[in-house]
Amino acid sequence: MTLDLHSAPFLSLLLVFVSAAFTDNILLTRFLGLCPCMGVSKKVDASVGLGLAVTFVTACTAVLNYWVYRYLLIPLDIVYLRLIVFIVVIAAFVQFTEMAIERVSERLYQALGIFLPLITVNCAILGTSLFMITRPYNAAQAFVFGLGSGFGWLVAITLIGGIREKIDEKNVPPGLRGPGITLIVIGIMSLAFVVFSGMVKI
Amino acid sequence: MSANARDIFKAGLIGDNPIYRQVLGICSALAVTNLLANTLFMCFGVVFTTALSNLTVSLLRRHIPKRVRMIAQVLIIASYVMIVDTLIRALNPDIHRFIGPYVGLIITNCIIMGRAEAFAGQNPPWPSLLDGLACGLGYSLVLIVIALVREPMGFGTLLGYPLPARELWWHSWTIMVMPPGAFFMLAIVTWIARSRFDAQKETPA
């Protein structure tokens, strides 16, 4: 099966990408993928590594789930099974990614450690598939939507990682240390991203 | 209730509260708290799923091989989430339209996965059921507190009913129903809870 780029003009793909990555940023406006974000975003390079893995998995599983949904679940009239089917597709795909990362970069594999299995339960990935089927996308747009969501997540987590590296050296009230101050940072960034909304509509 | 059960509840609600202490499952916590009604349905879904999936994982813990336990747990959880999803759609289609995707995301809610992995995998069924209930309720507690602030401040309503005489004193605080408001509220709740309960914990030591 090939991506059908002819029925979808390039501009529509660009719009889907920009809106998924910025106006509808999956981390900052949809609140998805926060748990791994809180865990990993202490360092920038770990953030980038996990962000790339998430982007890759999100884009690929969005289009895989699109095909499964369109050509399997709808014709067989078993849409109510979508949750279980989507999560199985994602889990299988993550297993594959984990093995790939282990081969390619030993250092990255050690840095991400326990967070790789957590990609399966990264809600950004399942969430992207669930939001994808509520919108009238074709396969190419589904792929770009996944790519944009993952990229938006990567940008957000990297920025947060950078800010947290600085904050660690500052004197934060004890009760606010760790998750508290991180949430406030994310809140302020979310304010900035909310300003984008209205620029592009999905 | 035995002393053991009381300890489990106390840990789930306060000491090890999944949200402000373990910082798990906050994704859905933020998304559904702008209206109290949505929050209550979401809490119902989470309590139901944590309790029953903990029970099931615990019952099957000797039969699931270690290597496939993650996927087995995900499948158990997903089956319960499907039940919840169908139930909420049947009970209240309007609310389901709004929180639908987030109900599906209960599957990837790390509280449930975390409890299944950390507690139910090593403990007998009865304490596991209690632990699941306690963690679900601890989650609900924080969500309801946040929703109780966000809905009145953002919409001037509570459970959809207008606040008394709101045209006299109330002014819409739109940011509370937008995403940033959710982050700030959760930060404040975490701050207060941690300062308070950590201080208590340190005094006897």
Q: Do A127 and B25 touch (CB under 8 A)?
A: no
Three-state secondary-structure class, residue A139: helix
Instruction: State residue A201's pLDDT score.
Output: 52
Q: CB-CB: which of B27, B180, B190 is closest to A190? A: B180
To the nearest whole number, what is the mean pLDDT of chain A?
79
HSE, side-chain direction, 13 A CA sphere, residue B190: 27
> What are the DSSP calls for A111-144, one per residue?
HHTTHHHHTTT-HHHHHHHHHHTTS---HHHHHH
How many structural domains does chain B have? Answer: 1
What was the pLDDT predicted at B204?
A: 40
pLDDT at residue number A5:
44
Nearest 5°: the CA angle A131, A133, A136 is 105
- Distances in Å between the alpha carbon of A28 and those of B46, B69, B183? 23, 32, 9
- pLDDT tens, A153-163? 888 888 888 88
CB contact under 8 Å between A31 and B27, yes or no, is yes
pLDDT in tens, B5-37: 777 777 777 767 776 666 677 777 777 887 888
- State the virtual CA torsion across B56, B58, B59, B63 in degrees, nearest 10: 110
Report the range out of A58-62, B93-97, B116-120 with the highest average pLDDT.
A58-62
Q: Out of B23, B29, B105, whose CB is closest to A179? A: B23
pLDDT > 50? residue A115: yes
CB-closest option in A88, A122, A175 to B194: A175
| pLDDT surpasses 80 at A97 | no
Comparing B47 with B155, the larger pLDDT belongs to B47
The helix (H) or strand (E) run that includes residue A170 is none
How many helices (H) and strands (E) are present in chain B, helices listed first? 9, 2
DSSP structural state of residue A8 = S
pTM, entire model: 0.79
Q: Residue A46: helix, strand or coil by DSSP?
A: helix
Residue ranges making up the domain that contains B65: 3-202
pLDDT single digits (tens) B158-192:
777 777 767 777 777 777 778 888 888 888 888 88
Angle, helices A82-104/A44-68, rounded to nearest 10 degrees:
140
* CB proximity B83 to A under 8 Å: no
